[in-house]
Chain A
Amino acid sequence: MLIHSQMKHVSSVPAHGVNVMLTPQFYTLKREPLPVKYAYQAKRIAPSLFEGLLEDVENHKYFVSKEDENWLFIAYDIEKIKTFLQSKGIEIGQVSKIFFADQTANLFTAPVLLGEHDALVNLNGTMTVVPQIALNPDEKPIHITTHFTPKKGVAFEGRGKSMVSSNEAYTLAAIFTLLAIIYFVEGSRYGGEDEVQVQEMQRLLENHPSLESSYTRKSIAKKYRAIDRKERKKRDVIKALSHMIFKGSTLTSLSLDDKKFKAQFACKDVNTAKKLKALAKKEKFNTSNIAKSNDVKIEGTL
């Protein structure tokens, strides 16, 4: 549907929605041979190109498209377009995509009549609205068809009651999808690890067939864990006591069995005895002085 300022009120719009093509009355355009490769780069510099040309720059959005040698820049006021469409009976939710007449300027080989007074013509590659009286009477006007629909268009952001803009939607969707991929990969890694564990288990059991029964395993584990804990404790005590042998402190006796230990150290003076007792307390051992000497007795349970 071609949208122009003189158009009549639209009585019905197809249920599946409608594509609209705007005449230059609704946009400002520029063609520039800029040395940029991608549309997003061109879009970024679009506002600077229209500086001084537009009254309210903030309300404008920009559409860019690569032509043979030039970049086509179009600035349009989306609110103004919305208001106009609504005034003509076209609800925003019914508009599928917006196109601009200049996108397919080469297809306008003859004028297209706009209402009773104006016509849309291609003047040196740029679409222009002119009075119909200025047309060459020999030129036969044409009608636009779906053939005029360009490949690229603008989707109406915030159509209907949509609360998310396209950009936000795509960004969020990209983030969610990325996270989903990460979770899937992580999940499958867990699954893989599980399989590895099962294989590892089988390999270990093949090498130790006597441990196949979980009851046997638990029983052996219980037995050896108790031994391991107790024997490590004994060795830790012996190691701690050996650190208490230093200059002035000599081990005179040590006795250790399954339940307790007792050691006696001869100290050359009171200070050495104090230092020794401090070391023993650090290890949470019980200490006592031997009467009439500097000797220290250290004991504890296992």
Chain B
Amino acid sequence: MTQLKAYKNELIVGVAFLLLLISFAYKQGQASSQSDTSAGNAVQELKEVISLQKIWGDKKMSTKIDKLKTIVSPSKVKWNKKSKKLTASFSTLTNQELNALITKMMNIAVMIQKLEVKKLGTTYQVEFKCKW
């Protein structure tokens, strides 16, 4: 008992240090179990899959793609949509129409299979093939 009293200060520091080590181990354990457990990763992965599916597996794409032909007058468009594929050609497009069309194409989540732009005089001709 006297010995213990003699080393009271060391004992206090030792106990506090032990507590610190235990708490540090606990924190590390929790942190690593979180990074190891797939809970966090799986949620991220699931969110990513849902998000990718929402973008590239959009079931309303067949309707959304129709907006491409509304950008220019119908006389300039040849439209062939079958199942989940589209082949379209646009002719005599002005600079502005070409810009608007390309911008729209870029913002629609379809798989571009072919895109050809040719300048004929002062106008442009566009061939576009895609699927979704």
Contact = CB atoms under 8 A, between A and B. Distances in A.
Interface in A146-174: 155, 159-166, 168-170, 172-174
Nearest to A166: B9
Given A163-B10, A201-B43, A224 B56 contact: yes
Interface residues of A, number: 68
Contact of B13 (A173, A194, A257): A173
Contacts of A96: 5
A145 interface: no
Mostly, the B contact residues are: helix
Interface residues of B, number: 54
Interface string A257-287: 1100000000000000000000000000000
Interface stretch (B19-27, B67-75, B78-86): B19-27
Contacts of A217: 45-46, 49
Interface stretch (A24-32, A53-61, A103-111, A177-185): A177-185
Contacts of A79: none
Contacts of B56: 224, 227-228, 231
Given A211-B50, A227-B111, A253-B118, A159 B27 contact: no
A258 B45 CA distance: 27
Contact of A190 (B31, B47, B111, B115): B31
B123 interface: no
Interface of B: 1-3, 5-10, 12-13, 15-17, 19-20, 22-24, 26-27, 29-31, 33-34, 37, 39-40, 42-43, 45-50, 52-53, 55-57, 102, 106, 109, 111-119
Interface in A185-243: 186-188, 190-191, 193-194, 197-198, 200-201, 204-205, 208, 211, 214, 217, 220-221, 224-225, 227-228, 230-231, 234-235, 238-239, 242
B39 A180 contact: no
A102 B88 CA distance: 106
A162 B13 CA distance: 12
Contacts of A16: 1-2
B57 A224 contact: yes
Q: Which of B29, B34, B48 has the most CB of A within 10 A?
A: B34
A169 B27 contact: no
Given A183-B27, A257-B114, A205 B46 contact: yes
